[in-house]
Structure 1
């Protein structure tokens, strides 16, 4: 059962998955998605894959997650993605089924041109099936590869006697009257695998956003109208306010509401408002798995806030993660911090040493532009991957890292998440 903030009286709500792709594939993928418990599907079909970014941008608020029928629309829409997203993979059983079909129709499956899929993945499937790869041509999709380029690729190979296999509906529509071409469609197994992985990520995020947050507020003794001001801030967070001892007030809200009000935990506008006209104002937010744990973490956060001066806000999480949201009467803007954050500011906000942040900054300067993975960070810092994952989590929570996609692996295993670091 999933509970959403701001919805009263509902026992649970479904996870809404937006399926994006050509009309026929959207129907097939959506049907399998709807077989999953507590899932509702919104169908977004396009005539051409170039429409995917506009679809995502216009409908983000309607869904909890996006599932694309292939890697191309997923990649094209990557910059617009603000929700968990995944795509259906076409390698493995999907490609083998296509080869069997071509073989039954009497085609030579040793002379093929295949688009979208990486050459290494295609070669692995052919080698496992004991099919020669000498006359196999593969053009993997990457940014800048257009459907027009794929059409030219297949025409050139068809002139040399190859049969074409495409993952792109627009390419198939363009060529099906001219050459022998088969369009790959995702298998039931690949769709099942993709939706289950996506639901796992999305469920965790929805549960986190619904997580109860406790915020302890303290101000200068005798602060006028403190109760009214705290109540107003709690209302803005769709939460409640209460007295918490003689000198403190308590705000109860959810992680989703707090994240929205603090620019994903990178600033604290409510601290500035509460500090207006007061010599002291501090807030400590606790984000735990239970109310009791959140209270313990809130107490730790307010204690940490006291060490940062008379005006400060800190958020505390499990695993000893403390994030300084803001400190001082005139906090540095999030924008300027993001443009050129000092190493000291980053270290204080995410709870890392200055030396570690400096090593990350040097590494980012020389790294590939496509992004970094936990494996990259672990290798650079000489730590285990779970430690690297925790470091990336801290940076992401503080707004110094963002997820940009996934790195597909040639060998078996889940794709690695790519991060862009702003350190």
Structure 2
């Protein structure tokens, strides 16, 4: 599990302290001095490393939110009432009166709860809740106004840039969440990632049905053609595919494989391929359940529902009752397929000791990476196999010269670094 942390340089020690109790997690640190570089640094992280989750404050999130993949789990740091209470007591320990005070970024509700719990005068507290549209200059101007208007003796600010500008003109306390709050939010994000990964490893089934038209012989031929199409589709390289007669073609695999093939249950390019290459109308249903039998039952229900649509499509039904669909044939399947590179790929697969379908799928993944390196665990995730299987596969590819080492995933001194590898399958095929 890899979690990215986007933090200001001055906060790293606090985050390191909070992360000490987090086991089984590799942390990727994105450390910035100025907010303007956050977007570039986060883009660099996403380009070089797969991350399962990202923890960052509201300001960094506003700077890079459009860069974040839709399937990436994101946690936005929120300071709790405990952190504000500690800041107020810290002021008291320094001999300052707790109020009047000017506060930024905290939610108004959090401030109200603390004021009520500590029996403070709300009229003595100026609060500016976080707004991504507000500039540092506007926040500084708010505090200067509060200092004049209410006679506030100091400022509590969560913004490093704001605190830097106020230093020298007034007393400032940072309101960064303490280790307890940070630790809780880190653990919560890790549990969300773990839950998502466990869900992706659940077993699932897919049922592909040929439209009922023409004599029985034509249907039999259509089902055989459909089965061959799925067998030669890189996305289904590691799936179990079986011809089930009148029930069509059945595919068994981990849920993660189907999620990848459907772009997160959005579209199913194989339906369009069946129409274009075989001239047949195909619908599909997917089922996710506690057993192979329940998966198949749910997939058949989903396929039956898809048959009721006017155009080819697919549905997903989970045992929790969730129904997703219809998924259309929008998009295109991976162009780098076994059929297009038959002889060369078969020869190379035989030399490496892999099936042609698996090697074709690896070549397809290489194309999607566009020259970027990948770790064994990330490759395993994309293939829908276990991490040990991913490492064994990398060793086999390395022995055949189909990957090369390209750096490490962990630059921080803590934790064991994992190597990155660049796939070279396309180059090997073109050289033949």
What do the CA deviations read for 1:133-171 (whole angstroms, capped 9, x no partner)? Answer: 222111111121111211222233334453111101111
Structure 1's 149 and 310: CA in aligned 2 closer, same or farther, altered over 3 A? closer
Residue 97, structure 1, aligned to residue 96, structure 2: no
Q: Could you tell me how far apart the structure 2 residues matched to 1:46 and 1:146 are? A: 18
Instruction: Tell me if structure 2 keeps the 8 A contact 1:280–1:311.
Output: yes
* Structure 2 residue 116 is matched with structure 1 residue 148: no
CA distance 1:260–1:34, change in 2 (3 Å): farther
Q: 1:71 aligns with which of 47, 53, 58?
A: 58
Give me the whole-angstrom Cα distance separating, in 2, the residues matched to 1:310 and 1:80.
34
RMSD: 2.5
Task: Note the alpha carbon deviations across 1:316-360, whole angstroms, 9 max, x for none.
Answer: 222444434346xxx6x58xxxxxxxxxxxxxxxxxxxxxxxxxx
Does structure 1 residue 196 correspond to structure 2 residue 194? no
Question: What does 1:7-406 correspond to in 2, within 5 Å?
Answer: 15-60=1-46, 61-68=49-56, 70-82=57-69, 83-159=72-148, 160-219=151-210, 220-223=219-222, 225-233=225-233, 235-247=234-246, 248-276=248-276, 277-308=278-309, 311-326=312-327
- What secondary structure sits across from 1:130 in the alignment? coil
Q: Any unmatched runs of 5+ in structure 1? A: 1-14, 335-423
**Structure 1 residues 205 and 238: alpha-carbon distance in aligned structure 2, compared to 1, 3 A threshold:** farther
The answer on whether the counterparts of 2:240 and 2:253 sit within 8 Å (CA) in structure 1 is no
Q: 1:307 to 1:258 in 2, by over 3 A?
A: same
Structure of higher RCO (CA pairs closer than 8 Å, 6+ residues apart)? 2
For the 8 Å contact 2:99–2:152, the answer to whether it is kept is no
Tell whether the 8 Å contact from 1:19 to 1:26 is kept in structure 2 after alignment: no
Structure 1 or 2, whichever has the larger Rg, is 2
Q: Partner of 1:139: helix, strand, or coil?
A: strand
Q: Is the 8 A contact 1:91 1:122 kept in 2?
A: no
Cα distance in 2 for partners of 1:40, 1:17 equals 6
Q: TM-score, normalised by structure 1?
A: 0.67
- The CA deviation at 1:88 is 2.9
- Looking at structure 2, the residues matched to 186 and 19 of structure 1 have their Cα atoms a distance apart, in angstroms, of 14
CA distance in 1, matches of 2:179, 2:55: 14
- Determine helix, strand or coil for the equivalent of 1:77: helix
TM superposition shift of 1:34: 4.5
| Residue deviations 1:225-263 (CA, integer Å, cap 9, x gap) | 433211022x32443243243353222333333233323
TM superposition score normalised by structure 2: 0.66
Whole-Å separation in 2 of the counterparts to 1:242 and 1:44: 43
More helix by share: 2
178-187 or 74-83: bigger deviation? 74-83
